[in-house]
Every structure is written in structure tokens, then in C-alpha cells.
Amino acid sequence: MVAISSTRSPQVHVRTYLIAGAGYPRRKGHPNSSPALDIDPIKAEAMNDLFSSSFKKYSDLKQQVHLDDVEAGEETVNLDNFFEDVDNVKDDMRVVEQIYNRLQESNEETKTAHSAKAMKDLRARMDSDVKQLLKRVKVIKGKLEALEKSNAAHQKLPGSGPGSSAYRTRTSLVSGLGSKLKDMMGDFQGLRAKMTAEYKETVERRYFTVTGQKADEEMIENLIERGESETLFEKAIQEQGRGQIVDTISEIQERHDAIREIEKGLIELHQLFLDMAVLVEAQGYQLNDIESHVARASSFVMRGADQLELAKEHQKSSKKWGCIALAIAVFLLVIILFPVLSSTLMKNA
């Protein structure tokens, strides 16, 4: 469990989260350094706009919580620490995105690496990035668990129970972090599949370059599963001698070891993402349940207001007809009594 620091600044610092653009800077002096990947500026701008829009909604939500509590007559709940914790998680997510970009770039460099040494250097760099990635995602997982526990504890505080604006804000933001994590999980799954497919294509090209023949599917699969590059090039070794193709064999072996290590790390990463998805989905279900109750209560209130208005109309109508009936009764009584009174008065006269 990773505890969230209890030391908080009274002022919440707001940050803008932009997706890394053209990738991570190259390491100076690296023999296989190549220009940074070209990224469509339109797509980059769209991603930045998306994060800017999300930031605006996030800031508006913070302000709306206070306004909702004031309008509802509730005690204003201080969520500054919570918002700061969410900011910290978003910072960690940005680091994960940067590592993802670095892995993409390193994978592109493997396409132009033609020596065992170049592949060894790339493998070391990618292994380091995967280790950093796993460490950072474990930190995110710990912080999400701490946020979930914090949310559960705050439900017991006055003005923070289910249905309150503070509770809805907490569950909504944690659920939003979960949605972002799902997107990241999909990105890394796609990267893993891409690296495996490109590794297979590279081995096929190397085999054709050395032997002049196209390797069948079974040969490639055996190499991918077992990493026995010498077996694949056994005939070429006999014909050309081991010294002629030893570097190709070493390069392919480095590729095999690299892809296996990275795949192992990405599988572990995928499991971490799944664990976090389960954690935040529970928050989403709670939020949906609250919203459904609020919607149902709102429906009852509106229906009650309509019925009250109808009752008032009936009441007004009843009073109106009562007055008319009374007037008619008085009029009939006057008509009936007038002849009798007139006759009595004439006799007395």
C-alpha cells in the first residue's frame, strides 16, 4: 500500500495536463540515435485540446461543489486535499505516457538496428523503461486504493454522505481516472501486439537476406517460442561458415530476449491495469446508483408538484361553484318568500 502524504498545501495548485508531443529526447552520443518520430501536429493539437477541455471541466467541477453546498444550505466540505491527491495521480499518469512514448520510439529504432551491439543497447534501454513503468503504475495503484479508502471514510462525515455534491464529486473523479487508465491499458496492449508482429517480420527478413529463401510459418514460430536462432540458420552455417552469419544470429537472439523481457513486463502491467479497473469501476457503480436515485426522487417531486397544482385548480373550481350555488339558493328563496311577505303586509295594512 502506498500512503498519500498527509502534508497538504492550503492552496491547491492547478496544472494543465498535455500529452507528450514528439516524444522523449534522444540520448546524446547513442550510436543508433535517430530523429524523433514525426507526429501529426493536428493530432497532437487535438490531444492537447482534449486535456485542456478536461482540465476546464475539472476546475468548473471544483467551483460547482462549493456553489451546490451553499445553495443546498449544507456545510461546505473542504475538498482541497482530495483535489491535490487527484492532481498527483494525474502527474503520475503523465509520466506513464512519457514512458509509453519512449518505448514507441525505441521500438521504431529496432527496425534500423542491424547489429547485436545496437540491439543490446536498445534492449537495455527498453528494459529500464519497462521497470520504471511498472514502478510508476504500482504507485498509481496504491494512490487509487488510498483515494478509495478516503472516499469511504468521508461518507461518514456531515455533508459528505451519498447524494451530497462532495460525494458525487469524489466518486466521479475517481471513476474518471479509471477511464483514463483503461485507455492507457489499451495503448500498451496495442504496443505489445505491434512489437511482437514486427519482431516476426524482422526475423523473416533476416532469414531471407542470409539464405535467399522465405522461412515457413513453422520455422518462425519455433524461433519465436524457443529462440533457437542457430537451428534456423543451420543450413546457411554449413554452406557459408559460422563466421559469416554469427552477427545475424547474435542480433536475432538479442531481439528474441528483448521481446520476451518486454512482453513479460507488459503482461504484469496489464494485470495491474485490470486490478485498478476493478477498483474504480466500483466507484462508478456507486455513482450511477446515486444518480438513478436522484433522478427518481426528482421525478417524484415533479409529479407531486403537478398533482398539487391540479388540487389547487380543483379547490378554486369548487369554491367558484359553491358561490354560484349559494347565489342561486338565495335568489330562489327571495322569489319564494316575496309573494308570502307581500300578502302578509297587505292583510296587516
Quick one: 261 and 344 in the same domain? no
pTM of the model: 0.59
Quick one: 343 and 250 in the same domain? no
Distance CA 291, CA 162 (A): 10
Asked whether residue 81 is domain-assigned, the answer is yes
> Quick one: pLDDT band at residue 99, thresholds 50, 70, 90?
very high
The residue among 267, 287, 307 that closes a domain is 287
Quick one: 228 and 334 in the same domain? no
In total, how many domains does the chain have? 2
* Residues of the domain holding 332: 320-349
Query: Within 13 Å and on the Cβ side, how many CA atoms surround 220?
Result: 18
Quick one: 272 and 324 in the same domain? no
Q: Report pLDDT for 305.
A: 54
Is 162 within 8 Å of 155 (Cβ atoms)?
yes
Q: What b/e sequence results for 181-219 when a residue is b if at least 16 CB atoms lie within 10 Å of its CB, and e otherwise?
A: bbebbeebeebbeebeebbbebbbebbeebbeeebeeee
Distance CA 299, CA 293 (A): 10
Is 146 within 8 Å of 2 (Cβ atoms)?
yes
What is the SS3 assignment for 227-270? CCHHHHCHHHHHHHCHHHHHHHHHHHHHHHHHHHHHHHHHHHHH
Quick one: 231 and 339 in the same domain? no
Q: Report pLDDT for 43.
A: 43
Asked whether residue 35 is domain-assigned, the answer is no
Position with higher pLDDT, 291 vs 122: 122
Cβ count within 10 A of residue 327 = 10
Quick one: 157 and 254 in the same domain? yes
Asked whether residue 242 is domain-assigned, the answer is yes
Question: To 10 degrees, what angle do helices 242-348 and 80-110 make?
Answer: 150
Asked whether residue 300 is domain-assigned, the answer is no
> Quick one: pLDDT band at residue 81, thresholds 50, 70, 90?
confident
Q: Residue 127 sits in a domain of what CATH number?
A: 1.20.58.70
Structure confidence by residue, pLDDT tens digits, 134-164: 999 999 999 988 888 888 888 787 777 777 7
Q: Report pLDDT for 127.
A: 93
Residue 3 has pLDDT above 60, yes or no: no
Quick one: 209 and 74 in the same domain? yes
Is 90 within 8 Å of 17 (Cβ atoms)?
yes
Quick one: 123 and 246 in the same domain? yes
Asked whether residue 103 is domain-assigned, the answer is yes
Q: Give the percent of the chain with pLDDT over 70.
A: 59
Mean residue pLDDT of the chain comes to: 71
Asked whether residue 295 is domain-assigned, the answer is no
Asked whether residue 315 is domain-assigned, the answer is no
Range with top average pLDDT, 10-24, 47-61, 75-89, 267-281: 267-281
Asked whether residue 329 is domain-assigned, the answer is yes
Quick one: 167 and 244 in the same domain? yes
Quick one: 112 and 177 in the same domain? yes
Structure confidence by residue, pLDDT tens digits, 210-230: 778 787 887 777 777 766 666
Distance CA 99, CA 261 (A): 16
Quick one: 239 and 326 in the same domain? no
Is 31 within 8 Å of 106 (Cβ atoms)?
no
> Quick one: pLDDT band at residue 89, thresholds 50, 70, 90?
very high
Quick one: 75 and 145 in the same domain? yes
Q: Give the percent of the chain with pLDDT over 90.
A: 16
Residue 278 host element (H or E): helix 242-348
